[in-house]
Structure 1
Amino acid sequence: MIILISPFRTVPIFVDSLGHFILLDWQYVYKGTIRDFYPPASYLPQTELPFQVYIESLGQLPQTELEALFAQVGRRVEPHQFRELFDFAFLALHGPYGEDGNIQGLLEWYDIPYSGCGILPSAIGINKVVQKRLMENAGFPCPKLTIIKRQEWLEATDKSRFFDLAKEAVGLPMVLKAPNQGSSIGVSILKEDSLEGFTAAINKSLFLQEVDLKAWQQKNIDEKVVFLAVLTDIREGIGMPVYAGEEQTLLHHPEELLRYLNRKAELQERTILTPLNSEEEVLLESFIGGKEFSCIVVQNHLGQPMALPPTQIIKSSDVFDYRAKYLPGVSRKITPIDLPAQQIQQIRQECCRLFEVLQCNVYARIDGFINEEGTIFLNDPNTTSGMLPSSFFFHQAAEIGLNPSQFLTYIIRTSLSERIRTGKRNKELRDQLQQLDGDLQRLRQQRSQKIRVAVVMGGYSSERHISVESGRNIFEKLASSVKYQPVPVFLTGSNEEHKLYLLPVNIMLKDNADDIKEKVEAYLRGEHHPLLEQIIEEARPLVNQYIDQDLLKFGPVSYEQLAREVDAVFIALHGRPGEDGALQARLERVGLPYNGSGIESSQLTINKFETNRRLREHGILVARHRLVNRQEWDKNRQGVLDALVQEFGFPLIAKPSDDGCSSAVKKIKNRQELEAFGEMIFRELPELMALPMKTLKLKPSEEFPQKDVFLVEEFIGREGAKHFLEVTGGMLTLRNEQGQTEYLVFEPSEALAGGEVLSLEEKFLAGEGQNITPARFARTAEENRRISQEVRKELEHVARIANIEGYARIDAFVRVYEDGRVETIIIEINSLPGMTPATCIFHQSALNGYKPYEFIDAILTYGIERQRSKATL
């Protein structure tokens, strides 16, 4: 969902996977994933298994029940009602129905202007087979290709014949694609001469899943649940519902599928699963070696195509898949691509030529490769680009000086101009365009009256990438307001020396904190790519009416200088040095107001051991815990392990004692894992150690800090409770008329982990994990209310003990017993909770009437008023 700058009033229309249009109640716009609100939690089947499902898994609901379901999140609308609701449709739909001409045609029928390409280029852009034929006819270099039909594949008893033909037609390595999907879904690269690998890749592109039922029987229930969670996730598997076996039994819910497989495993060795929606053919192409890139092409002020600086993609795996595209830090982006200027210009020219050949308009994202011989292969033009903070769409626009709100405004304005060319409602559209230009002019004139807020992001902890995501989100929400002028500031360095830099928007939107730091250092050395300056000049007539020159500033800045540049600070750092009081102390010395808790409270809550000790002294339930330091570990490792096993048993929780949430938090199940954790956290060098990494099942890109001490806690389980769940509760502090602090504790969210503990991605990144808000404490509304009140009362008690100010998030486990007794066991306090678009504190504040900007405004207002009250003492 795209939220736009102040000339626009946004109307959120949600399109569900059954094709219904729903005018969403605004608070649901800010959920992290569709599954967080749809279907509503009250419609989810009762189960103890942690399956996360979409509405398709509810089966065929009668119309009256569907209407009641819609009413819980908004109201259903029909296309003929669109013009009563909005003047312009900004399309943020991906894949079939969204970028294939379907929605474009519907909007054309009802005379509603929309963003991006029209019907024809959209229909071409989604169909990879048609694309290739058009590109070949236009003289673009193309890889060798062949096609395998679904029915022929299914009917063949000898699959090796297809493999032999494919090797003859395109060779090895080969790329296998689902022709009508977006986001690299259904794509594989086959390198080995393996019939088994070929068969798996074909099945993936056709969305077929063959299940070995003998292997299924060997799995325990947890392994089966994980297998099905992957299988039913469209990004990695085939989705739901599925037709199962030769009898084509239609199964909607993963738990139905679990029971089906258990039953069939007693009767047969294998079964085939196929989803409701699948592909009828597979496109096979010869593999192209070389550098991979992506390039956004836009129409300039004259209506001609102009390519932005192409970005080189450095992947952590063979395929630039869904996760690599949309999760920051999974892949690296280098802009412009690391090539001589002449070759970069050739890429831009070819992308513009393809834009014209396919009759694209407004914008498109064109991907491709350039091999060692300098041949450029373009593929998969996308007429709707991903629009997450780390997407190419914003990344490249920033290189010509446009922040996300400005670029979205440009897209709307250009789309209006383009729709005028169709000859429909010309006068009305011209009037809209004129009004928009007048609104933009008035906004520019208001800039000097705004409160200037430094948004400090980055840091040097293992949570620096999430801190950047939070900072960019805060920046964008403030940039879209009429009250604040955000100034992006990057913090790096060490505990001993903080280094602050004013960031231009193009550096702020680099892929992650490490990329930003690298680019900052390059700027300091005077390394500026000469071609970027040329592209900026080309784009200047386009961007002049949107750009804010202040956002192009760069340079180191001291705290004293910062106090002269801005009126307040929003600390978007997590872990150290944001949550430990160090940054707060520096800001107080220069008189800058800031968000969140004060110095002493921050110093307490960053230290998990001291926080738990303080809470226990006040009668709060916390886990039993113990610190392990490097000195005792080095002196007597086996003795330490013996003592920990004796005191806590297995499983137990090991984690850093003084870092932010979910950083290297591990559920330890045996002595080998406990020893591996100690070896990893006490290692001498920054590089991860291979054997402990394998034992702990760490991902290659996973952050794992080096520390001199770590914390061991008892594992909190059900302990006979009727209901047991993990929750996270946000809160906001407000000043009443007497100047006293009051706590507004939000309804907690129920957190569902995909693994053994909630990961950073599940807490903060859209599309990862699931948060149900409000939490499901009980089945009846009255009992749920009672338990929620008890839990929130305990969270407020915890916040008062820790002297929390501004806002915070407290994580806890909740046990509900048969007799109605409620236990709230506190896990940790986060004094500067994550503020990424997906974090559940925005879901919670929305239930209390705060839109994200309004929530951020309340946090800043509290900090500014706190500073004023100190100044008057």
Structure 2
Amino acid sequence: MADRKLRVLLLFGGRSSEHSVSCVTASGVMHAIDRERFDVIPVGITRNGGWTLLDKDPEGWALDSGQLPEIASVDHPVQLSPEPNKTSLQAFGGSKISEISEIDVVFPLLHGPFGEDGSIQGMLETAGVPYVGSGIAASAMGMDKHFMKVVFEGAGFNVGPYEVISNKQWLRDSDAALARCDRLEYPLFVKPARAGSSVGITKVDVPSDLRAAVEVARVEDPKVIVEQGIVGREIECGVLEGRGSSPARASLPGEIAVADNGHTFYDFEAKYVDGTAAQLSCPAVLSEEATAEIRELAVKAFDSLDAEGLSRVDFFYTPEGQWIINEINTMPGFTPSSMYPQMWDKTGIDYRELINELIALATERNVGLR
């Protein structure tokens, strides 16, 4: 490997509803990654799970005039092929199989189920190839808003009131499932338990709208979480794993404020389509004490999940000065304009350097139990 560049497989698209968001993320990384240091191999995953080798030009995956990009077909099918001392990318052409190159590290720019939830991480562990981001368990817990909250409660965090409605509970007795939510104060936020980018989320102001909101969430995930609305500022903090045995690092915090122009919360349209819907500010205007506290809490959340690589941790900051943890995202939005890179840029690590650091962290970690 000393006589060549490090080969980085960028894996994006995927089977989740966040397919297009993943493509936009990949465009940003392909624009910024240091081509003098890394040999970039872009591989897309279609919505039905097919893997295809793609062109290295990032323009086709950018968010252009509100059109969300899509990996529609498998024109150049590929697969990872693990061997005793290496993992190669192989291409299929008719009845022939040919090796493209040995892969040194995978950057899985995948959001949502079948990518961010431990699925791809398990496959990469089995293949024996290093990859950016958290391992199987942390990815799975970080994707599931229910188990994530259980971990945070066990670690001593303040967690807002919530109820979980499993698929069997809903099918067996939906009225009883809804009745359990009577203890929660409105407004409520009804969410798919294992989805991201605010897909399938409904803000519910009155009990008569709750059933319909659960059905909307169930389109994305049969497991649904119902959260009590929290009065407070939405403050986020980026976490970056430390090198070797060094502790994780926390960025300066950022804040999201949703404009009053038709968006009642930070939904998918506000995040990715309507550029005027939300104001992202970093660093957030906080006291020195509050800034230090959220940075400490973000690292604690990262460590409580045994996360690796990168994470964005989201909190509510109440008028009483209390921090209530909302969630952790183990593969946060990673375009240059996303909050995670923005927070690190304000902290002193720019986008290209952040990509370099994440790849370095991945290559220094062992695959398997650690």
| TM-score band, normalised by shorter chain | 0.7 to 0.9
Q: Deviations over 1:732-759 (max 9, x none)?
A: xxxxxxxxxxxxxxxxxxxxxxxxxxxx
Say if 1:83 and 1:112, in contact at 8 Å, map to a contact too.
no
Name the CA shift for 1:149/1:312 in 2 (closer, same or farther; >3 Å).
Answer: same
Partner of 2:266: 320
Which secondary structure does the structure 2 equivalent of 1:70 belong to? coil
Matches within 5 A, 1:104-253: 104-154=121-171, 159=175, 162-168=177-183, 170-191=184-205, 193-195=206-208, 197-207=209-219
Which secondary structure does the structure 2 equivalent of 1:114 belong to? coil
2:256 maps to 1:310: no
How far the C-alpha of 1:36 sits from its partner, in A, is: 5.7
1-structure distance, mates of 2:304, 2:318: 23
Q: Deviations over 1:65-89 (max 9, x none)?
A: xxxx533xxx111221752432111
How far the C-alpha of 1:154 sits from its partner, in A, is: 4.8
Kindly tell me the number of residue pairs found equivalent between the two proteins.
Answer: 316
How far the C-alpha of 1:103 sits from its partner, in A, is: 0.7
1:284 to 226, 230, 241: 226
2-structure distance, mates of 1:285, 1:413: 38
Q: Which has the higher strand share?
A: 2
Partner of 1:70: 74
Matches within 5 A, 1:661-672: none
How far the C-alpha of 1:35 sits from its partner, in A, is: 7.1
Name the CA shift for 1:352/1:38 in 2 (closer, same or farther; >3 Å).
Answer: closer
2-structure distance, mates of 1:92, 1:30: 16
How far the C-alpha of 1:410 sits from its partner, in A, is: 1.1
Q: Deviations over 1:680-702 (max 9, x none)?
A: xxxxxxxxxxxxxxxxxxxxxxx
2:238 maps to 1:296: yes
How far the C-alpha of 1:290 sits from its partner, in A, is: 0.7
Task: Tell me the TM-score normalised to structure 1 length.
Answer: 0.35
Greater Rg over alpha carbons, structure: 1
The amino acid that maps onto 1:324 is: A
Say if 2:194 and 2:223, in contact at 8 Å, map to a contact too.
no
How far the C-alpha of 1:18 sits from its partner, in A, is: 1.2
Say if 1:187 and 1:319, in contact at 8 Å, map to a contact too.
no
Q: Deviations over 1:207-233 (max 9, x none)?
A: 1xxxxxxxxxxxxxxxxxxxxxxxxxx
Which secondary structure does the structure 1 equivalent of 2:107 belong to? coil
How far the C-alpha of 1:398 sits from its partner, in A, is: 0.8
Greater RCO (CA < 8 Å, at least 6 residues apart): 2
1-structure distance, mates of 2:296, 2:194: 26
Name the CA shift for 1:294/1:22 in 2 (closer, same or farther; >3 Å).
Answer: same
Say if 2:169 and 2:177, in contact at 8 Å, map to a contact too.
no
2:311 maps to 1:364: yes
Structure 2 unaligned blocks of 5 or more: 1-25, 90-100
Partner of 1:23: 53
Q: Point out the more displaced range, 27-36 or 88-97.
A: 27-36
Say if 1:188 and 1:319, in contact at 8 Å, map to a contact too.
no
Name the CA shift for 1:303/1:324 in 2 (closer, same or farther; >3 Å).
Answer: farther
How far the C-alpha of 1:415 sits from its partner, in A, is: 1.9
Name the CA shift for 1:119/1:25 in 2 (closer, same or farther; >3 Å).
Answer: same
Name the CA shift for 1:109/1:332 in 2 (closer, same or farther; >3 Å).
Answer: same
Partner of 2:335: 388
2-structure distance, mates of 1:103, 1:32: 23
Partner of 1:11: 41
2-structure distance, mates of 1:414, 1:176: 36
Say if 1:28 and 1:37, in contact at 8 Å, map to a contact too.
no
2-structure distance, mates of 1:143, 1:37: 36
1-structure distance, mates of 2:349, 2:62: 26
Task: Tell me the TM-score normalised to structure 2 length.
Answer: 0.78
The amino acid that maps onto 1:178 is: P
Q: Deviations over 1:752-786 (max 9, x none)?
A: xxxxxxxxxxxxxxxxxxxxxxxxxxxxxxxxxxx
Structure 1 unaligned blocks of 5 or more: 40-68, 208-277, 424-873
Matches within 5 A, 1:592-611: none
1-structure distance, mates of 2:187, 2:69: 40
How far the C-alpha of 1:174 sits from its partner, in A, is: 1.6
How far the C-alpha of 1:421 sits from its partner, in A, is: 8.8
Partner of 2:116: 99
Name the CA shift for 1:392/1:37 in 2 (closer, same or farther; >3 Å).
Answer: closer
How far the C-alpha of 1:402 sits from its partner, in A, is: 2.5
How far the C-alpha of 1:179 sits from its partner, in A, is: 0.4
Partner of 1:418: 365
Name the CA shift for 1:175/1:405 in 2 (closer, same or farther; >3 Å).
Answer: same
2-structure distance, mates of 1:372, 1:174: 19
Which secondary structure does the structure 1 equivalent of 2:227 belong to? strand
